[in-house]
Chain A
Amino acid sequence: MTYGLPMGRKFPKITVDLEKCTVPFLCKKCLQICPEAVFHVTRIMQKEERLKEMDPRVDGNYVLFAARRDKCTVCNLCLDVCPVDAIKIEVPAAERVRPKVSGEQWGR
């Protein structure tokens, strides 16, 4: 493996209020502005209905979710651009790792 895994890192928790955000495929503002392409839009589909084509203009056919929240930097561009204020981002508690140092010049 050439890439170090970010094991143990806490990612921001992103929740989308689906009652406010109803037509993400048409609005697509957050999807296109996110520098890290965190959001995904997908559709709600029952197995029996898989032969049906679904209209993105109908409320609730498509849902927005933060599939790639591992890359979210909490730059809040999506919050600014969202017309219905449906997105909420919880920043994980920052764990500051201070190096242990001994010696007088670092100690105080």
Chain B
Amino acid sequence: MCWMCDQFGDQEYGNGIWYLNPRNYARNMYKLRAPGEGFKGAEVGLETGARSGPGFGDILNAVENNDRAEFDRITGIMQERGQGSQIVALEDADRVLELCSPIGLMACICRKNARAIDERNELEYTCMGMGVGMLKWERWPERYKGGVKFVNLEEAKEWNHELDKRGFVHILMLFGAPFIGGFCQCDYPDCGALRNAVDFGIGSLKGHYVAMVDYDKCNGCGICAQRCQWGALKFEVTNEKANIDQFKCYGCGLCQTGCPRGAIYLVERKSVPAVAEVWT
């Protein structure tokens, strides 16, 4: 069981999966900062708050110095603060959208930072802010340059499915666990969460599913291989089928939604014993 479900799950709702527990979206999850106090909780991760503690540069230094203890200390701090993310499949993402309000579309900060891409157009927005934090978006003009487009549930789902078609991974971003402040559509290599997860195995929890291939239905068209952002799915030349390394699979479900023949299906992670506890 993942440590988030241990702490924040509820068997009554969503089979004990923490992000399907409506209590985690409650108003009082959002931590407010007392005057004079440092950044913490929900505000960590916004542009100024990110500099108040150890960051990715410190992790790189620890790796260069071969200092495993320092590496673990920094990632421990990040986890303690509730920074992190969780990969969700498309269907679960829709269920999350049903639980939270308000929902606003906005420009992606990672893409802006890494590729200097300015999403000025509402149609280009690839990031979503959710929950009470969005009501004070004007306090961060630089972060939300171009504004926020508030949408209703149907529009949000439509947007979500559209970006799934384009091949983005769906990630819930934690702003002080278990408060979900954002719903990101990520890809490698521009997005910070995927970089940390793929390069260093930190920051993100894998999804609650793993993908499997139905070899009878798969005809080896290779579309799924283009969609995997994790390096988990490849085209196996010998028998001309898709091949999934389940230890690397993050359960984002992109291969499943992309398969024209329905040859890939998701199974619950806990039902596959060897990867049941593989969360990073």
Binding site for B on A (CB under 8 A): 1-3, 5-11, 24-25, 28, 31-32, 36-37, 39-43, 45, 47, 50-54, 67-71
Q: Which residues of B contact A7 (CB under 8 A)?
A: 63, 66, 68, 71
Contact B114 A40 (CB under 8 A): yes
Q: Which residues of B contact A10 (CB under 8 A)?
A: 64
Least Cβ–Cβ distance between A21 and chain B, in angstroms: 12
Least Cβ–Cβ distance between A23 and chain B, in angstroms: 10
Given contacts A5-B201, A51-B139, A70-B63, contact A37 B116 (CB under 8 A): no
Q: Supply 20 A–B pairs (Cβ within 8 Å), ascending by A.
A: A1-B201, A3-B199, A3-B201, A5-B63, A5-B201, A7-B66, A8-B63, A10-B64, A11-B63, A11-B64, A28-B115, A28-B116, A31-B114, A41-B113, A42-B113, A45-B48, A50-B48, A52-B141, A67-B113, A70-B63
Contact B116 A5 (CB under 8 A): no
B31 within 8 A of A: no
Least Cβ–Cβ distance between B81 and chain A, in angstroms: 19
Contact B48 A5 (CB under 8 A): no
B35 within 8 A of A: no
Tell me, in angstroms, the Cα distance from A70 to B60 when the chains sit together: 7
> What is the size, in residues, of chain B's interface with A at 8 Å between Cβ atoms?
32
Contact B139 A50 (CB under 8 A): yes
Contact A37 B115 (CB under 8 A): yes
Tell me, in angstroms, the Cα distance from A24 to B115 when the chains sit together: 10
Tell me, in angstroms, the Cα distance from A24 to B199 when the chains sit together: 26
Contact A31 B64 (CB under 8 A): no
Binding site for A on B (CB under 8 A): 47-48, 56-57, 60, 63-66, 68, 71, 112-116, 139-142, 145, 189-190, 195, 198-201, 247-248, 278, 280
The residue in A8, A36, A52 that gathers the most chain B C-beta atoms within 10 A of its C-beta is A8
Q: Which residues of A contact B201 (CB under 8 A)?
A: 1-3, 5
Apart from A2-B201, A7-B68, what 17 extra A-B contacts exist at CB < 8 Å? Answer: A1-B201, A2-B278, A3-B199, A5-B63, A5-B71, A7-B63, A9-B63, A32-B116, A37-B115, A37-B190, A41-B113, A42-B47, A50-B47, A50-B139, A52-B141, A68-B56, A68-B189
Q: Which residues of B contact A1 (CB under 8 A)?
A: 201, 280
Least Cβ–Cβ distance between A89 and chain B, in angstroms: 15
Least Cβ–Cβ distance between A31 and chain B, in angstroms: 5
Residue of B nearest to A64 (CB): B116
Top 8 A-B residue pairs of the complex, sorted by shortest distance between their CB atoms: A8-B66, A28-B116, A37-B189, A53-B141, A3-B201, A1-B201, A31-B116, A40-B113
Tell me, in angstroms, the Cα distance from A46 to B112 when the chains sit together: 20
Tell me, in angstroms, the Cα distance from A7 to B59 when the chains sit together: 11
Contact A6 B63 (CB under 8 A): yes
Tell me, in angstroms, the Cα distance from A71 to B198 when the chains sit together: 12
Tell me, in angstroms, the Cα distance from A5 to B199 when the chains sit together: 8
The residue in B56, B115, B198 that gathers the most chain A C-beta atoms within 10 A of its C-beta is B115
Given contacts A50-B139, A69-B60, A71-B199, contact A31 B189 (CB under 8 A): no
Partner of B57, one of A25, A37, A52, A67: A67
